[in-house]
Structure 1
């Protein structure tokens, strides 16, 4: 009996299918579904670290959420960071991947160099860049040779959010490079040679052959970058702590932790976490569906 026949027999037998699926389903239920249900239940209460009794307020936290200007500002900050994390690393990563799509020890070494920031802790990266970008840091000290008043990368409210976004994007470039390199190396050489024989130059080959075949890689990286942008916490906590000013660089994840742990409003924080989860899920599903349609069209 071959493997395909065994698989079909298992799927037809409910008991075998249950035994086969039970371990994974149980782990998923314990570590994913149950915490989600607990968090949603908590979001319907007025649970507070400094309150003795807890009672149900149902959807009062959600109504309060969308009438809170600070939360709306936080949501806007997160959307801006997510857009930066989608566009910048993917564009730069694809460009670097195209340059490194060659054989030789030099190119292999360069691939490792670009991937180093990915394996570093985001906290370590944030601390290093905070030291570099502070008003009397190395970067501004060098810029003072050209301008008397260099930018306040982390102290200027108009620049701080984009500085954080740039650091997150910089650390994400390595992942994009590796994934796009894998996609480029899977492009059949025969198609490129045929396009070259037909008179297509490098740009035309990329547009007509390489880019359509990279569509699955683009889909994966776009969705992963979007999710990562919505989950930014470490860099904001270390570099700006939500400032300068009130909520200038606050993100959804940072706001959830601040509300639940620092302010002690556990129920309200759970509502914020539930909305954050819903936003990420909806945008992810929509993005996957839209980009999969693009893959088919290409």
Structure 2
């Protein structure tokens, strides 16, 4: 009798285990069928390169000057004594701050102006979005010609009576801001489209109710429209932040890090110059890892703050 009582719970547990396996089986198979290829690609092309770079950053790896030795954290210690890297960090921070703020503000203003129906407004939306689909190299070449000392912009200023137009790309005090303006110009259309999508998702009933209550256009924007644009603000800010912090192609094509001593050299520019021009792959990998950590931390903080604002709304 006692043996039968003990066997019954054991059989129940076996049945439950078999049922659990039966339920998990299809889920595991679905993961293998659909998620595993994506995870594999992500591991091969994202996680593996990061792991390799991390290993290189702990060595003095130079493909043309063997042997490679393990140096630990020495590369990271040297980075924060390297004035060239610290200058690149300052340049990248200024560039990122400008690129995050200016397209966001201007993009919102343009989106409000274009939030109307009609063929003209559809055409204008296409015009503003066109720079986004252009190659950054093409944009860089076009603007480097326009802002050249003898380019159309300075020729126009001379025609207007300016005897000595500024050196937009040759003056160390102006070059970084000219470069940032070019990046902002190309990213403006992206912000416009995202904000337009957000504006078209604002319920008209809320705006009409606010108008009935006596709220003017400014009050309706502050109380109704702007809070509902929180997701659009999050998308634009995070995309602009990441794009600006890893800026390389504009710098390479337009100024090559100059004028002067690194006036426009970003961290990404220094990483490639150190790794591929000077062949100090270990040191360049340490720069890349630091840049990755900075971007990851700042992005996580910004994303957390902006998403908290969305939840509070």
TM-score range, shorter chain: over 0.9
Report deviation, 1:293: 1.4
Report deviation, 1:17: 5.5
Q: 2:214 pairs with 194, 199, 219, which one?
A: 199
Residue 98, structure 1, aligned to residue 98, structure 2: no
Aligned to 2:195: 180
Aligned to 1:31: 45
Residue 214, structure 1, aligned to residue 229, structure 2: yes
Residue 112, structure 1, aligned to residue 122, structure 2: no
TM-score normalised by the chain length of structure 2: 0.90
CA distance in 1, matches of 2:196, 2:118: 14
Gaps of 5+ in 1: 1-8
- The 8 Å contact of residues 85 and 229 in structure 1, kept in 2 or not, is answered as yes
CA distance in 2, matches of 1:267, 1:224: 29
Report deviation, 1:58: 1.0
CA distance in 2, matches of 1:182, 1:291: 18
TM-score normalised by the chain length of structure 1: 0.94
Report deviation, 1:13: 5.7
| Residues 200 and 252 of structure 1, relative CA distance in 2, 3 Å threshold | same
Runs of 4+ in 1 over 2 A off after TM superposition: 9-18
- The 8 Å contact of residues 10 and 16 in structure 1, kept in 2 or not, is answered as no
Q: How does 1:255-274 map to 2 (within 5 A)?
A: 255-274=270-289
| Residues 282 and 12 of structure 1, relative CA distance in 2, 3 Å threshold | farther
Residue 84, structure 1, aligned to residue 98, structure 2: yes
Aligned to 1:243: 258
Gaps of 5+ in 2: 1-21
- The 8 Å contact of residues 85 and 168 in structure 1, kept in 2 or not, is answered as yes
Bigger radius of gyration, 1 or 2?
A: 2
| Residues 10 and 61 of structure 1, relative CA distance in 2, 3 Å threshold | farther
Report deviation, 1:216: 0.7
Aligned length: 290
Aligned to 1:43: 57
CA distance in 1, matches of 2:177, 2:52: 35
- The 8 Å contact of residues 11 and 17 in structure 1, kept in 2 or not, is answered as no
- The 8 Å contact of residues 132 and 139 in structure 1, kept in 2 or not, is answered as yes
CA distance in 2, matches of 1:100, 1:265: 50
| Residues 198 and 82 of structure 1, relative CA distance in 2, 3 Å threshold | same
Residue 233, structure 1, aligned to residue 248, structure 2: yes
Report deviation, 1:149: 0.6
Structure 2 counterpart SS, 1:144: helix
Report deviation, 1:297: 2.7
- Once the two structures are superposed, residues 68-108 of structure 1 have per-residue CA deviations (whole angstroms, 9 ceiling, x without a partner) of 11100100000001011101101111000000000000000
